[in-house]
Structure 1
Amino acid sequence: MPIYVFWGEDDFAMNSAIAQLRQAVLDPNWVQFNFERIIGDRPETTIEGLNQAMTPPFGMGGRLIWIEEAIVTQSCAESLLQELQRTLPKVPQTSTLLLTTHKKLDKRSKSVKLLQKYADIREFSFIPPWKTEEIIKKVRQFAQDKEVKLTPRGLELLAESVGNNTRQLYNELDKLRLYGEKTNQPLDEKVVARLVAVNTQNSLQLAAAIREGNESKALGLVADLIDRNEPALRIVATLVGQFRTWLTVKIMVESGEKDERAIASAAEIGNPKRIYFIRKEVQSLSSQQLIKTLPILLELEVSLKRGANPIATLQTKAIELCRACKSSSRRGR
C-alpha cells in the first residue's frame, strides 16, 4: 500500500527519507505536475490532499502527495475520519500518500488506528544520549548503508563523537567514505580521531563531571551546551536517565548481585559487558547519595518547565548535584 506516515523530531533523518521517497516515486521531468506539498493542519487541506492522492499522475512516473504536520496523526473530526475511511483503502498504486508530523502518534485515536492498518509507519526520533548501544547500532547501520568499513573501536569512537546527531553522522560518514577509497582496510580509531569533529561538550560528559563532583567543569559544560542551543529539558532528560542507570546498578551491587546479565536487565542495558564499566563509575558513590540526586533533578525539571532561566537554573542545580556526589565520594575513600 503506497501510504506512509513519518513522525519524530529528527528532521534531518526524516528529510533524508522523504528525499529517497521522492526519488523513488517521481520522474524528474514530471515533478511539477505530480508532486504536491500540503500543510495538513486543517480538515479542508487534509481532504484536498486525500483527493489529489486519488488523481492519476500525468506523464511518466508516479504521483506523490505530502501532507505535512497532518492533524489526523493525533485525532480528527468524524467527517474527516469518514473521508479517511473512504480514501485510504482505495489509493491507487500509481499514487503515494505521505503524512508527516513531529508529534508522537496518538494511538488511542480512531484515525491513527486506521493509519496503522493501511500505512507504513516510521519513527524518526532522537535516540536518548545515554542509550549508547542503540546509538552504536544506528551508526553501524548507517555506515553499512554508505559502505564505510570501520573497525569495532573505530565504530565506537564515531558513535561517541557524534552521539545522536544524525546530520553530523551523515557528514562524518561522507568524509570517512572518501578517505576510505584510498585503502581496502577498515578505518580504525586513529583515522576516526583524525578526521571526525568530536562533539566534546555533551550532556553525558556533564553527568560524568557531576558524578565526580567537579563543579568548575560542570559549570563550563552547562554554559557550552546552552551556547550550542542544546534544549535545557533535553539536557535534564539525559541527566535523569544517566543517574537512574547509575542508581539501579549501585543498588543491585550493594544487594550482593554479581550476575552482570541480571544487573543489565534491571537497568535496561542491552550489553551486559557495560556493567563492569558502570560499576567502576559509581564505585565511590553510595546508593543513598544517588537517591538524593533525583529530587534535585526533579526540582530542576519543574523549574525549567515553569520558565526559569535555563543557564542559571542548570548551573545552580549542577552545583547542588556536584556537592551531593562529592560528599559521597569523600566518605567512600
Structure 2
Amino acid sequence: MPIYVYWGEDDFAMERAIAKLCDRVLDPLWTSFNYTSFSPEQPDAVIAGLNQVMTPTFGAGGRLVWLMNTTLCHHCPDDVLAELARTLPVIPENSFLLLTTRNKPDERLKSTKLLKQFASEFQEFPLIPPWKTELLVQAVNQAAQAVGVKLTPKIAEILAQAVGNDTRLLYSELEKLRLYTAGSNKPLDVDIVTQLVRNTTQNSLQLSAAVRTGDTAKALNILADLINASEPGLRIVATLIGQFRTWLWVKIVMEGGERNPQAIAKAAEIANPKRIYFLQQEVKFLSVQQLISCLPLLLELEVSLKQGASEMSVLQTKIIELCEVCRQNSQYT
C-alpha cells in the first residue's frame, strides 16, 4: 500500500527520508499539481488529505499528500476513523499518503492499528541517546558512507564525540570534510579533523566530568564556552542526564557486589563492556546517594528550560548545585 508513517525526534533524518520519497514519487514538472501538504492547524486536515489522495494525478509521476505533524495516531474522532477505514484500502497505486509526527503513535488506537495494517512503511526516526557511544559511532560510519567520506575508526569516534546525536550537524561536518578532501589524495588525519570539526558534545562530556568531581569553577567555564558556541541548553542537559544515569547504574550494580564487566554493562545498557573499567574509576569516589540526588536537579533543570527559563541563569544555578552535591564527602576535595 502507498502509505507511509514516519515518526520520531530526529527531524533531519526524517527530512532526508521525506525528500527521497518526494524524489521517487513526484515528477518535477508536475509537482505543483500533484503535491499537497496539510498542517494540523488547517480545519479538517485529515479529511481533506484523504480526499486529496483519492484525486487522480495530473500529467506524469505520482501524487503525494502529506499530513504534517498529524495527531491521527494519538487522537482520532469517530467520523475521521470511519473515513480512514473507508479510504486506506482503496488508495490508488500512484497516490501516496505520508503521515509524520514527533511522538510515538499510540498502538492502542484503532486509527494506529489501521495505519499499521495498510502502511507499506511504518518507520521511527529516533535520536540516539548521547551516552550510547557505540550507536553514535555506527551512525557516523553510515552517514560517512552515504556522503562518500572515508573515515578511520579513530576519526569516526572523534566525530561521534563532537556532534553527538545531532544528525543535521553530523552531515554538515561530513560535507565539510568531503569538500576538504575533494580533488586531493590527501587522507584525513586526526589533527585535520580536530581543527575542522566543531566539538560541542565532547565539551558537554567534559562538563559532566567537571561536575562529577565537584569542580565548580571549571564546570562554569566549560558551560560558558558551550553557550558562547550556541550549544542548545537542552542538548547539554541531555548529555548530563545520560552520563549521570550511566554512572548511577554502574555504581548500583557495583554496590550490589557484581564484578563481571559483562553483567555490569548489560545492567547499565552499555554495548561495550570494555568501558566498564573506566566508568568504575569515574564513580569510585561518589556514593549511590550522591548520584541519586543529582537526578532530580537535572530533571528540574530540563523542565525549567522547556518552560522558557533564562537559559544561562538556570544552567549556572543547577551546575553549582550539582557540583555541591558531588563535592559533599567526596575524596576529590
Alpha-carbon distance change, 81 to 225 in structure 1, aligned in 2, over 3 angstroms: farther
Find the aligned partners of 1:85 and 1:64 in 2 and give their Cα distance: 19
- Contact persistence 1:264–1:272 (CA under 8 A): yes
Residue 327 of structure 1 aligns with an amino acid whose one-letter code is: Q
Residue 112 of structure 2 aligns with an amino acid whose one-letter code is: V
- Aligned equivalent of 2:242: 241
Deviation, structure 1 residue 199: 2.2
Find the aligned partners of 1:125 and 1:158 in 2 and give their Cα distance: 19
Alpha-carbon distance change, 64 to 300 in structure 1, aligned in 2, over 3 angstroms: closer
Select between 159-168 and 246-255 the one with higher mean Cα deviation.
Answer: 246-255
- In structure 2, runs of 5+ residues without a counterpart are none
- Aligned equivalent of 1:131: 132
- Contact persistence 2:200–2:231 (CA under 8 A): no
- Aligned equivalent of 1:143: 144
1:164-215 superposed Cα distances (whole Å, 9 cap, x missing partner):
1111111111122233444668634233213222226754332221002111
1:269-319 superposed Cα distances (whole Å, 9 cap, x missing partner):
112122122122223323343233234435545666777544333322221
Alpha-carbon distance change, 112 to 183 in structure 1, aligned in 2, over 3 angstroms: same
Select between 25-34 and 122-131 the one with higher mean Cα deviation.
Answer: 122-131
- Contact persistence 1:75–1:110 (CA under 8 A): no
TM-score, with length taken from structure 2: 0.89
Find the aligned partners of 1:305 and 1:180 in 2 and give their Cα distance: 40
Residue 142 of structure 1 aligns with an amino acid whose one-letter code is: A
Residue 148 of structure 1 aligns with an amino acid whose one-letter code is: V
- Contact persistence 1:240–1:297 (CA under 8 A): yes
Select between 129-138 and 279-288 the one with higher mean Cα deviation.
Answer: 279-288
- Aligned equivalent of 1:253: 254
Alpha-carbon distance change, 28 to 94 in structure 1, aligned in 2, over 3 angstroms: same
- Aligned equivalent of 2:29: 29
Deviation, structure 1 residue 224: 4.8
Q: Does residue 171 in structure 1 map to residue 172 in structure 2?
A: yes
After superposition, residues 173-252 of structure 1 pair within 5 angstroms as 173-182=174-183, 187-199=188-200, 202-225=203-226, 232=233, 235-252=236-253
Deviation, structure 1 residue 243: 1.2
Count of aligned residue pairs for this structure pair: 332
- Contact persistence 1:201–1:225 (CA under 8 A): no
- Aligned equivalent of 2:284: 283
- Aligned equivalent of 1:51: 51
Alpha-carbon distance change, 308 to 56 in structure 1, aligned in 2, over 3 angstroms: closer
Find the aligned partners of 2:323 and 2:275 in 1 and give their Cα distance: 24
1:30-66 superposed Cα distances (whole Å, 9 cap, x missing partner):
1111111112446622111111111221111111111
Residue 9 of structure 1 aligns with an amino acid whose one-letter code is: E
- In structure 1, runs of 5+ residues without a counterpart are none
- Contact persistence 2:162–2:202 (CA under 8 A): no
User: What SS does structure 1 have at the residue aligned with 2:330?
Assistant: helix
- Aligned equivalent of 2:6: 6
Residue 160 of structure 1 aligns with an amino acid whose one-letter code is: Q
